[in-house]
Structure 1
Amino acid sequence: MPKELWKGNEAIAEAAVRAGLEAYFGYPITPQTEILEYLSRRMPELGRAFVQAESELGAINMVYGAACAGVRVMSTSSSPGVSLMMEGLSYIAGTEVPAVLVNVMRGGPGLGNIAPAQSDYNQAVRGGGHGDYPRIVLAPASVQEAIDLMGLSFDLAEKYRMICMMILDGSIGQMMEPAEMPEMKPVVRKDWSWATNGAIGRERRILSSIYINPPAEEVANFRLGKRWQEVEANEVRFKEYHLDDAEFAVVGFGTAGRVALSAVRAARAEGIKVGLLRPITVSPFPYQVIEELAGRVSGFLVVEMNMGQMYDDVRLATRGRVPVEFYGRTGGVVPFPDEILAEIRRVAAGQWSAEADTRISWQARMADVIGGK
């Protein structure tokens, strides 16, 4: 299909519709409200379910019910709203039903602001809700990539009977870019062996996250863990740029990775041999890729729009063999390419930080940038 100019949030909504979305439940919150607004018109046109719930708590529990019935379902929200959904997400995970959630992240903590941020990384990849449960987390860096990952989100959620989240900062949700939409898929209600979709001509099915007997809960948790090993073995996705001859590597996801790519290209124009690894799945994280890179580069520079959350995963992957530097902007501030280029030049000159946790020296350097406040 030809490319059209799409706003990020509306592109995500239309991509979900074309991927066979049957039911959407949500609640308005900036900067993701355009998704809900778009679907409020689009879903009724197609005879599909749309409900603006009374709250994020109501929305995620409606998702839970639809997921139990085997419906292709999703919700969307933004940082504070996602926090309110955590109990429901844990119930969905514990019941082992597929669901998709999109978080268009904004500045925080607290009420924060409506500017773009990546500070919900830990909440997404570490679980957020209570209990032991894994989840797939995808991080697009453009409107086109968000479109492409939308259909994949549903497929992965259903394949592994788990939550698939897409996290993107507000700038991707609000920006407009030329993008190509996939063809419309027909809605096909699959006859899942577990779905509570009406016990006609069969034994009834019961879906629950309750395990009164602790050993039974342990068995369930190990079942989730074994399923996650399959995800880690088969679903890691990432993009590599200029890593063939790189002497050190930048790592960034989403918008931070996209801005970092501009800085990497500028650095290479200056003769600096630097490359970029941009994780697309931040859960499962490309640990093995980074571990292999650690055997042939002198170190890493992690760039994020937070206080250094993915940084911990990169350090874990390197096993302490090479230094890992950090540069970030937080609170809704987006880094410029020249800021990252300055950090690349510093590292290329051999000015590695002395601390084991290089976020300490980063904060010291940032005092001049933010006025020492």
Structure 2
Amino acid sequence: MQKTEKIMVKGTEAIGEAAIRAGCRLYFGYPITPQSELTEYMARRLPEVNGTFLQAESEVAVSNMIYGAASTGKRVMTSTSSPGFSLMQEGVSYIAGAELPCVFVNVVRGGPGLGDIQPAQSDYFQATKGGGHGDYKLIVFGPESLQEAVELTIRAFDVADKYRIPVLVLTDGLLGQMMEPVTFPSFKNLNTLPDHSDWALTGTKMQREPHRVTSFDLDPVKLEKMNIQRHEKYKTIVKEEKLFEEYKLNDAEVVLVAYGTMGRIVKSVVDSAREKGVKAGVFRPISLWPFPYEELGRYTENAKLFFTVEMSFGQMVEDVRLAVNGKKPVEFYGRTGGVVPTPGEVLAKLMELV
């Protein structure tokens, strides 16, 4: 496939192909709907590019396999859906503590508990506030389209290597199962990928001192120092890695805030609202962590109202309120359990508010 080709592809498979083109040659996973096609795709595709696929006995095992593979400095990933990602959380904390680059994909389904296989955004807290134990962060991306999912998957591997940090691509069952035309980039030359020989576990061959990859130190003072060093890195990420989209915000008096699939849906709501004389626009966070607080907060000068729309009972709305900092009212509308808000019902709620 050439870079200029557009191919009709399913969301989960688009993410898998993007990972392979980004240089991922190691995948460990366990099937769970609505992302099982991604696991199936990697099982079929990786042997074709001299990669390794392994289906583990559980999601707990997956996260520990990721830990081990990432310790070698190779590009590695897994994918799962909400309950599966919950099972991975201890391993995620270990990986973040050991400062290892890798990529997770969570195709979110309705919850809590087993829930259903319909799309939802109710894993936002888990993704952005740290679903495991301890002080750590993941970089989190929330794509709105399959093309953006491809681009963010590739970016995820790059920033994971750049900062030695796990990165999560947070999508949902709708985006995972839909089909759209996608343009894939060319394959990355594996010989040009970042060199991690200064820390990776590659075998000393009696030519260097052994490397040590760990997430803890029994000396509390040393452990605190490790945590401080990580958080200094997080400060750099906050400065350098925020991503967001602004849609018709130049004169907006009402700012709709939504991410992922909902960020896409509310654009049509804004178009309809403007036809009715309401000056509305969309602010769409793409990096959910780091969240673009300052960039969203700038609109408090001119906007009269902020309106957050989510496929949850309201999780990102807390970050929106932090960004607005009490300067303007923040309203919320959401559906949960796998119900996707329609443009019509969001528009009706917006008109009611204004």
TM-score (norm 2): 0.97
Matching residue within 9, 15, 18 for 2:18: 15
The equivalent of 1:260 in structure 2 is 266
- SS state of the match for residue 301, structure 2? coil
Cα distance in 2 for partners of 1:190, 1:295 equals 43
Spell out the pairing of 1:19-34 with structure 2 (5 A cutoff): 19-34=22-37
Deviation at 1:182, TM superposition (A): 0.8
The equivalent of 1:112 in structure 2 is 115
Matched, 1:165 2:162: no
- SS state of the match for residue 190, structure 2? coil
Matching residue within 281, 286, 290 for 1:284: 290
Percent of aligned pairs with the same residue?
51
The equivalent of 2:330 in structure 1 is 324
Matched, 1:197 2:202: yes
- SS state of the match for residue 288, structure 2? strand
Q: Which runs of 5+ in 1 are unaligned?
A: 349-373
Matching residue within 242, 248, 255 for 2:254: 248
- SS state of the match for residue 50, structure 1? strand
Deviation at 1:46, TM superposition (A): 1.1
Cα distance in 1 for partners of 2:194, 2:320 equals 39
TM-score (norm 1): 0.92
Cα distance in 1 for partners of 2:20, 2:138 equals 22
Q: Assess if the C-alpha contact under 8 Å between 1:22 and 1:187 holds in 2.
A: no
Cα distance in 2 for partners of 1:222, 1:87 equals 21
Cα distance in 2 for partners of 1:191, 1:270 equals 55
- SS state of the match for residue 271, structure 2? helix
The equivalent of 2:341 in structure 1 is 335
Cα distance in 1 for partners of 2:216, 2:341 equals 45
Task: Rate the CA distance shift 1:190–1:197 in 2: closer, same or farther, 3 A.
Answer: farther
Deviations 1:231-278 (A, max 9, x none): 110110011000000011000001111111111111111221000001
The equivalent of 2:217 in structure 1 is 211
Q: Assess if the C-alpha contact under 8 Å between 1:249 and 1:297 holds in 2.
A: yes
Q: Assess if the C-alpha contact under 8 Å between 2:161 and 2:194 holds in 1.
A: no
Q: Assess if the C-alpha contact under 8 Å between 2:139 and 2:166 holds in 1.
A: yes
Deviations 1:100-136 (A, max 9, x none): 1000000000010000000000000001000000110
Matched, 1:226 2:229: no
Deviation at 1:210, TM superposition (A): 2.1
Cα distance in 2 for partners of 1:218, 1:294 equals 38
- SS state of the match for residue 207, structure 1? coil
Amino acid at match of 1:250: L
Spell out the pairing of 1:56-75 with structure 2 (5 A cutoff): 56-75=59-78
- SS state of the match for residue 308, structure 1? coil
Spell out the pairing of 1:96-135 with structure 2 (5 A cutoff): 96-135=99-138
Cα distance in 2 for partners of 1:185, 1:115 equals 34
Deviation at 1:294, TM superposition (A): 1.2
Aligned residue pairs total 348
Cα distance in 2 for partners of 1:99, 1:110 equals 26
Cα distance in 2 for partners of 1:194, 1:90 equals 19
Cα distance in 2 for partners of 1:299, 1:47 equals 53
The structure 1 segments of at least 4 consecutive aligned residues displaced by more than 4 Å after TM superposition are none
Deviation at 1:190, TM superposition (A): 4.0
Matching residue within 174, 191, 203 for 2:177: 174
Q: Which runs of 5+ in 2 are unaligned?
A: none
Q: Which stretch shows the higher mean deviation, 305-314 or 188-197?
A: 188-197
Cα distance in 1 for partners of 2:167, 2:328 equals 32
Deviation at 1:2, TM superposition (A): 2.0
- SS state of the match for residue 262, structure 2? helix
